[in-house]
Amino acid sequence: MFKSLKIKPGRLLQTIHDTAESFGAMYKWGEHHTETGLRRLALGDEDKGMRDWFAKEVVSLGCELKIDELGNMFAIYPGQDMSAIPTGVGSHLDSQPTGGRYDGPLGVLAGLEILRTIKENGYVPNYPIALINWTNEEGARFPAPLLGSSVWSGSTKKEDIYKVKSVTDAPPRTVLGELERIGYKGEVECSHKTNPIACHFEIHIEQAPFLEMAGKKIGVVQGIQSFNWQEIIVRGEAKHTETSPMEGRADALLAAARMVIKGNEIGIKYGGLCSTGYLDVEPHVFNVIPNEVKFSLDTHHYEEDKLRSMLAEIRETFDAIAAKGDGTSKAIPLSVEYIPVFESPPTHFHPECIETVRNAAIEVVGEDMIMDITARAGHDSKETSSIVPTSMVFIPCKDGVSHAPTEYSTPQQVEDGFKVLMNAVLGYDLLRKEKA
Amino acid sequence: MFKSLKIKPGRLLQTIHDTAESFGAMYKWGEHHTETGLRRLALGDEDKGMRDWFAKEVVSLGCELKIDELGNMFAIYPGQDMSAIPTGVGSHLDSQPTGGRYDGPLGVLAGLEILRTIKENGYVPNYPIALINWTNEEGARFPAPLLGSSVWSGSTKKEDIYKVKSVTDAPPRTVLGELERIGYKGEVECSHKTNPIACHFEIHIEQAPFLEMAGKKIGVVQGIQSFNWQEIIVRGEAKHTETSPMEGRADALLAAARMVIKGNEIGIKYGGLCSTGYLDVEPHVFNVIPNEVKFSLDTHHYEEDKLRSMLAEIRETFDAIAAKGDGTSKAIPLSVEYIPVFESPPTHFHPECIETVRNAAIEVVGEDMIMDITARAGHDSKETSSIVPTSMVFIPCKDGVSHAPTEYSTPQQVEDGFKVLMNAVLGYDLLRKEKA
């Protein structure tokens, strides 16, 4: 029985640190050599290095490695019934440009640690296990988050995704070009239909402070809140900063600044989130009043109807700011355009998978130490959830910090999370057998 | 006597339009083919084309062409006393990235029209005339405004200026590299000591609506107001936009947005100018709260002491915004850094040159149609003024618009301005002789 499997304490964390240091460690923030962040942009050289390492590792464990057309890597570990659809466990190995060591890699490497553990213990699951590295989950280098898993699930199209251009290279590079360059455009069709999994489990740091604040050890993830990404373009009039009187300007940056502040206030008012991550100014010259400003608006709410209300109020408010111009007596109205980028309805994970995670968590840390959580950010599990039963395991991270070099979970938190994930994956394997 | 010289009406404007259309016309805004803006970035291909045309033109008029190490072009038109230091007239042929046809080219081409006119009329001035095209006046491609004239005057150093990197190329290019690439790194030393002029006259569009509002035709420029350029860096903390509660963030963009708005308000309050032309966000990702924002702050005032007060209040206000963080109950203070970029004390033009311009203007448009003006923006005349007697002629431009494609002066305004400039240059030539 899997609950008696002997684990190697500390090995998973060692693997996280070793691979971080070999492939993308950057942004030293502490004295210890493990105290740095990570820059491992999807399909970049560091990502290729990490992928090569991962491929070698899973093959040495006896996995069959399938690489699909989007670079998603499926390592199939043998089960007793080799004809069955595998049990899925995965996450992503890419990071944010100034990211941390845990967001993504923890999920894939915890899956790897499961395979190492069952191999060492001579435990053979009923069904094969697919350990998956999904491509470009972050959407940081290529602004299409959940890139690999969304093509696999069918929510985006391969042809569109191949053309997406990187925002971190000059000149930009395409997804297709970079897949080919690093040798990870595989032969396997990227589709849940021809390359199926039976379910998907994923462990991730919480990226929020709620577990830590509540003093809990494991989050049992119920689903993902709804969110909306849009790009706002404000258009005014370029004039000389040094000669144009302050009245009668149509300063696009001034209007955009007001919108960024107001968006934030509306997020707070509704108990949701509203944030701007980038803002670009044209013509970007010291002494020219900006005539065009483009900025991102990332809006979240646990409740779908509250998200709708927030978005309506944001639009009304931004329209009013633009119409008012600079607000002086000679105000010139500005124009504002709203470009949809990405929208996600709420995701509800599968009751059986949630229950499997809950039972595993109770076993490892006890009932008092677990908490039901609705995830705020997108994860590959959002995409798999639209196709197969899915749930996630969250562990606390220090101060809720993520997408930053100082992202940190303690060795104990990492080990607790790994145990819960392993018990969930192997527990679900048993459940599948029982129901078969 | 030069006041009886026959001019060719319309030829100067035709030259402005022809050269705009050959070298950088862009951004069509009206029906007529002359109704476009101009993109002629300093030391770029369009600038090289314009320089080559200008070189050919001045040589065909009988000028000796001297090109200095910074690409400044001195076309020396012969006078009766060829051993004398030439009378200077000049401006710049480069433009803003989304600039207009008049800012800069009007000044150089009006000088060219003087040379054409005196040659056609067989008029020989007492002293040689140096018609000058100063390199990168705009500071748009290379963020060092008055680049060529400032090295000539000695207020900046050649070695430093050569290293300045372009902000409009990826990857950036240096001044030295581009001078060499387009073949305009000349042999002549860039120095007022070894390549002197006796004075400097410059015609320019006003770039402000004051002449137009007052119904005047010519501005007699008394000097240039004092200004200060600085770069502000706000540092907060990067976190995930989708998982970090709105309270307890240290959003650098939110603080910077408040500063941009407050800076503007302080500008209005003091009757000065305070503007932000660019703003850059790090790490510039959709779902990461910006941890660093850098923005420009361009602050002007006619009165030096008011400028000092404005700058002090701006600093106090920005410090307070940063200290307050996001203003919520869990506010985390941000840091703010002030980086000096460029500062200019007020420039007072030379009484004799101002008087020469005034007399010429009275002659051409009558005493009621002229207005004393203090320029707001930097001009190459600011640099020459620190070395030799200098003044400028301003003509009105529609709605005060400049640094934008719709920049426009009427044919009559261009012709009036040219006549005033010619009379001033040739009048000063007489004055020099009288005083000799």
CB A273 within 8 A of CB A374: no
- The answer to whether the Cβ–Cβ distance between A241 and B277 falls below 8 Å is yes
CA A398 to chain centre: 18
Provide CATH 3.40.630.10 ranges for chain B.
2-224+347-435
Q: Identify the pLDDT of residue A303.
A: 87
Find chain B residues with C-beta within 8 A of A394's C-beta: none
The ipTM of this complex is 0.73
Question: Which of chain B's residues have a Cβ under 8 Å away from the Cβ of A260?
Answer: 253-254, 257
pLDDT tens-digit readout, A177-195 = 999 999 999 999 999 999 9
Question: How many angstroms separate the CA of residue A192 from the nearest CA in chain B?
Answer: 27
- Nearest partner of B162 among B153, B149, B170, B148, judged by Cα: B148
Nearest to B240 among A207, A239, A328 (CB): A207
pLDDT (0 to 100) of residue B200: 98
DSSP result, B113-143: HHHHHHHHTT---SS-EEEEE-TTSS-SSSS
Q: Computed over its alpha carbons, how large is the radius of gyration of chain A?
A: 23
Residue A208 confidence class, pLDDT cut points 50, 70, 90: confident
- Work out whether strand B87-91 and strand B200-205 pair parallel, antiparallel, or are unpaired: parallel
> At A104, is the pLDDT very low, low, confident or very high (cuts 50, 70, 90)?
very high
Kindly list the residues from chain B whose CB atom is less than 8 angstroms away from the CB atom of residue A243: 206-208, 375-377, 400, 402
Band of residue B334 on the pLDDT scale cut at 50, 70, 90: very high
Contacts of B247 in chain A (CB under 8 A): 268
Question: pLDDT for B107-157, tens place per residue?
Answer: 999 999 999 999 999 999 999 999 999 999 999 999 899 999 999 999 999
What CATH fold (topology level) applies to the domain B2-224+347-435? Answer: Aminopeptidase (3.40.630)
- The torsion defined by the Cα of B340, B346, B347 and B352, in degrees rounded to 10, comes to -170
pLDDT in tens, A329-379: 677 899 999 999 888 889 999 999 999 999 999 999 999 999 999 998 889
Residue B205 in this model has a pLDDT that exceeds 60 = yes
Q: Do the Cβ atoms of B82 and B199 come closer than 8 Å?
A: no
**Residue ranges of chain A that CATH labels 3.40.630.10:** 2-224+346-435
Minimal Cα–Cα distance from A6 to chain B, Å?
A: 35
Q: What share of chain B is helix, strand, coil (3-state, %, to 5)?
A: 35, 20, 40
Q: For residue A369, with 0-12 CB atoms within 10 Å meaning exposed, 13-18 middle and 19 or more buried, which class applies? A: middle
Please, where in chain A does CATH 3.30.70.360 lie?
Answer: 226-344
Q: Which fold has domain A2-224+346-435?
A: Aminopeptidase (3.40.630)
Please answer whether residues B68 and B132 qualify as being in contact, where contact means their C-beta atoms are separated by less than 8 angstroms: no
* B237/A404 touch (CB, cutoff 8 Å), yes or no: yes
Query: Best of B41, B242, B300 to disrupt the A interface by mutation (most A CBs within 10 Å)?
Result: B242
Token pair 């494609």 is found at B405
Does B404 sit within 8 Å of A229, measured CB to CB? no
B61, two tokens: 């008029």
Residue A242 distance to chain B (closest CA, Å): 5
Residues of A in contact with B251 (CB under 8 A): 264, 275
Domain A226-344 class, CATH top level: alpha beta
Given a cut of 70, whether residue A1 has pLDDT beyond it is: no
Closest approach of chain B CAs to the CA of A197, in angstroms? Answer: 28
Q: Do A285 and B404 touch (CB under 8 A)?
A: no
DSSP state of A302: S
Q: How sure is the predictor about B84, in pLDDT bands with cuts at 50, 70 and 90?
A: very high
Please tell me which of the candidates A208, A282, A287 has its beta carbon nearest to residue B244: A208
10 Å CB burial of residue A53 (0-12, 13-18, 19+) is: middle
pLDDT of residue B1: 52
CA distances from B20 to A115, B15, B289 (A): 69, 8, 44
Say how far apart CA A344 and CA A155 lie, in whole Å. Answer: 11
List chain B residues with CB under 8 Å of A290: 276-278
Residue A2 has pLDDT above 80, yes or no: no
Q: How confident is the model at residue B167 (pLDDT cuts 50, 70, 90)?
A: confident
Which residues from B are below 8 Å from A375, CB to CB? 243
Q: Give me the mean pLDDT over the B365-383 stretch.
A: 94
Q: How far apart are CA A177 and CA A169, in angstroms?
A: 13
With contacts defined as CB-CB under 8 Å, which chain B residues touch A330? none
pLDDT at B294: 97
Q: Is pLDDT larger for residue B296 or for residue A143?
A: B296
* Burial of A171: CB neighbours in 10 Å, binned 0-12, 13-18, 19+: exposed
Distance CA B423, CA B357 (A): 8
From the candidates A40, A230, A240, A339, which should be mutated to test the interface with B, based on the most B CB atoms within 10 A?
A240
What HEC string does A234-288 produce?
EECCCCECCCCCCCCCCCHHHHHHHHHHHHHHHHHHHCCEEECCCEEEECCCCCE
Mean pLDDT on A231-258: 92
Which region among A102-106, B3-7, B66-70, B80-84 has the lowest average model confidence (pLDDT)? B3-7
Region B379-406: mean pLDDT is: 95
- CA-nearest residue to B248 within chain A is A399
Above pLDDT 70, what percent of chain B?
100
Which residue in the set A261, A283, A326 is minimally distant from B257, CB to CB? Answer: A261
Q: What is the DSSP letter of B377?
A: S
Size of interface A-B (CB pairs under 8 A): 229
